Structure 1
Amino acid sequence: MLTRLLPNFNPTKNCLTLILCSTTVLASSCMQEREAQQAAQAATPTPPETTIAQDTAARIKTNPADTATLASQPAADTSWTYPGPKPLPGAILPEKRILAFYGNPLSKRMGILGELPPDKMLQKLDEEVANWKAADPATPVQPALHAIVVTAQGKPGRGSKYRLRMTDKMIEDVLDMAKQRDAIVFLDVQVGRSTLQEELPRLVKYLQMPNVHLGIDAEFAMKNGGVPGRRIGSFDAKDINFATGFLADLVTEHQLPPKLLIVHRFTQGMITNTENIKLDPRYQVVMHMDGWGGPALKKDTYRRYIKNEPVQFTGFKLFYKNDTRGGHRLMTPAEVLALTPKPMYIQYQ
């Protein structure tokens, strides 16, 4: 398809055009599949839910012989109410809510981060931060820029990996923009037919910075073959554990505050074996609702695939364009805050 779009394509001169066109192809080819899957899921009966408390209670052994041992242990820290251990000092969540602008600064079609010139984009980010502060004055807002630094492609490319790595210059431009707002940065990876093991080491020099974190997009992870954009990919708990282990090692080696991992999800099959995802004080995992559509569909997707398998923290994406198709409207901060659990990571695309 890219050949038909770019008959005179020159890979040296037209790298930006490749990014723009391939992204447009992927977005349009996924659109119908997303709508069909989410509509089908909305019509499916919801499985019974098990609360964290119920799940914990079910795992407790009530052997009387254990009573003395349990009594001798220090009382649990009841100030920490989220799954997993309490994080190391300097953790962002849940002390702050993160508000991120997503996209690629080289493309106007991948999200708000690249759709507007940097000064106008940052001004709009300021406006959204103010909206969220007004909606929840008790929770400080941490601005963020979430940049796609490995983009899935519709053609094999070098090594038949179906992905394109962005340059260091692009990443450093995002870091410079973030400095203007004391924003943190997320580097997002769409592996195509590559792997996290292959892509993450290249990002070490950025991920070892205290203000830089990681996002991984299962939609474009084609571990079972196929072309990105023609079917929805997946990550398993093993993949996520590799990413968090990678971050944990950086935290230990460089004495950093806990890292954040954002995991995109909008279907059941995108993330498998969530019960095997490991939690550790050195990182914080956000299961991020990445589906688009009208408010009713977005709420239902969040309930089915995020609330039912939250892992640790939860996130919610708002699409300036796709959410408003077909006469729908963009959800307000107050509506998102009414969700259970309350998302602590908010992303605008």
Structure 2
Amino acid sequence: MLDAGKEGVYRLFPSIYYTDAIKTSRHEENFKPYWVASESEIVVEPQVAGQDESIILNDDILAFYGHPRSERMGILGRYSITDLDTRLSELAVEYGAVNGGRGVRKAFYLIYGTVWPQGEIGILQESILLEYIQYALERDILIFIDHQIGRYDPIDALKKMLPYLRYPNVHLALDPEWRTTKPMQEIGSVTADEINRAQQVIQDYLLEHNLPGERLLVIHQFNWRMIQEREKVKSDFPRVRLVHCADGFGSPTLKAASYAYNAQATNMPIKGFKLFYNFGIPGAGYDQPLLTPKQVIELTPRPYIIMYQ
């Protein structure tokens, strides 16, 4: 991730972030060549009908973000599932005390597609993903699976994740920063048309497979170039709730400026906010100081999805 206020060229090569994941993946074959699963390769499980109201109508969402196989890519890779659950529950109490009486839904936010040099993509091993999904299903925890896109079309990246919507607690995310063939050298981007088509593809999939309820699609942004023609993004798909998430680390002043820029996009009214812990990793960015839950909730407009990396 870049500093929220930084422009231009990255200074760090991806290996500083991904060394742990590479070593583990090579030994255990935890990533595969990029491919898009066809519908014939997926057995869609029947679903129990759920409520059609928005899951953020009465609740905020609080998530821990990262790659399960890398301590360098966020808090989610630094602890076991049970430890993450405990820590997230403790943080949820803090948010519940300042969010005006709204509920707090816990979530695990997994990097599913990780960008490599030349924009290639490493895919999270399915058995690991399903372990998180099953644990979360049994405890009313949400799952977000995030794709960094790389050199691929965002719709193809999205289609890779669609079959997991058969699980009612699964939601999707795309990170335009990594939609590039030169990760860590340039900031990637998606277009408004691609975001709109992504929402349509999700909605069509839900209808085709008779999957109930709405699903969230999170789009990250910390730099103007990450969403081209941003004013043309739609957010009126009945079955897809678009979330515009402010990304990027830095001081409170920088983060406030980044969030204020995202707030200008009133055509994407549901906002998210991301915070970065300091784990003492050389070269890794973090928030200094970390905003308090009260400060986060007081952002304008208030974020409804809050994630910690």
Query: Residues 270-325 of structure 1, C-alpha deviation per residue, up to 9 Å, x if partnerless?
Result: 11112222221111111100111111111111001x11114120000011128997
* Structure 1 pair 322–230 and aligned structure 2 pair: CA distance change class (3 A): farther
Q: SS of the residue aligned with 1:173?
A: helix
Q: Tell me how far apart the structure 2 counterparts of residues 286 and 327 of structure 1 sit (CA, whole Å).
A: 22
Please say if 1:170 is aligned against 2:170: no
* Structure 1 pair 147–248 and aligned structure 2 pair: CA distance change class (3 A): same
Q: Tell me how far apart the structure 1 counterparts of residues 148 and 297 of structure 2 sit (CA, whole Å).
A: 29
* Structure 1 pair 15–110 and aligned structure 2 pair: CA distance change class (3 A): farther
Q: Tell me how far apart the structure 2 counterparts of residues 307 and 116 of structure 1 sit (CA, whole Å).
A: 33
Q: Tell me how far apart the structure 1 counterparts of residues 214 and 227 of structure 2 sit (CA, whole Å).
A: 23
Q: Tell me what 1:194 maps to.
A: 152
Query: Residues 12-68 of structure 1, C-alpha deviation per residue, up to 9 Å, x if partnerless?
Result: 53656x99xxxxxxxxxxxxxxxxxxxxxxxxxxxxxxxxxxxxxxxxxxxxxxxxx
- Consecutive unaligned residues of structure 2, counting only runs of 5 or more, are 1-12, 33-50
Q: Tell me what 2:295 maps to.
A: 335
| Aligned-partner residue type, residue 244 of structure 1 | Q
- Structural mapping, 1:50-199, within 5 Å: 89-154=52-117, 156=118, 161-199=119-157
Residue 334 of structure 1, CA deviation? 0.7
Structure 1 residue corresponding to 2:230, chosen from 254, 274, 294 = 274
Q: SS of the residue aligned with 2:92?
A: helix
* Structure 1 pair 180–208 and aligned structure 2 pair: CA distance change class (3 A): closer
* Structure 1 pair 11–283 and aligned structure 2 pair: CA distance change class (3 A): closer
| Aligned-partner residue type, residue 218 of structure 1 | P
Q: Tell me how far apart the structure 1 counterparts of residues 102 and 189 of structure 2 sit (CA, whole Å).
A: 33
Higher relative contact order (CA 8 A, sep 6+): 2
Q: SS of the residue aligned with 1:109?
A: helix
Q: SS of the residue aligned with 1:286?
A: strand
Q: Tell me what 2:306 maps to.
A: 346
Give the stretch that moved more between structures: 109-118 or 285-294.
Answer: 109-118
Structure 2 residue corresponding to 1:263, chosen from 214, 219, 238 = 219
| Aligned-partner residue type, residue 300 of structure 1 | A
Residue 167 of structure 1, CA deviation? 1.9
| Aligned-partner residue type, residue 207 of structure 2 | T
Q: TM-score, normalised by structure 2?
A: 0.79
Q: Tell me how far apart the structure 1 counterparts of residues 214 and 174 of structure 2 sit (CA, whole Å).
A: 17
Structure 2 residue corresponding to 1:292, chosen from 249, 253, 261 = 249
- Structural mapping, 1:39-54, within 5 Å: none
* Structure 1 pair 322–309 and aligned structure 2 pair: CA distance change class (3 A): farther
Please report the RMSD computed on the Cα atoms of aligned residues, expressed in angstroms: 2.8
Q: Tell me how far apart the structure 1 counterparts of residues 116 and 75 of structure 2 sit (CA, whole Å).
A: 20
- Consecutive unaligned residues of structure 1, counting only runs of 5 or more, are 20-87
Residue 10 of structure 1, CA deviation? 11
Q: TM-score, normalised by structure 1?
A: 0.71
* Structure 1 pair 15–229 and aligned structure 2 pair: CA distance change class (3 A): farther
Q: Tell me what 1:251 maps to.
A: 206
Q: Tell me what 1:242 maps to.
A: 197
Q: How many residues align?
A: 269
* Structure 1 pair 269–215 and aligned structure 2 pair: CA distance change class (3 A): same
* Structure 1 pair 208–180 and aligned structure 2 pair: CA distance change class (3 A): closer
Overall identity of the aligned pairs, in %:
32
Q: Tell me how far apart the structure 2 counterparts of residues 10 and 308 of structure 1 sit (CA, whole Å).
A: 42
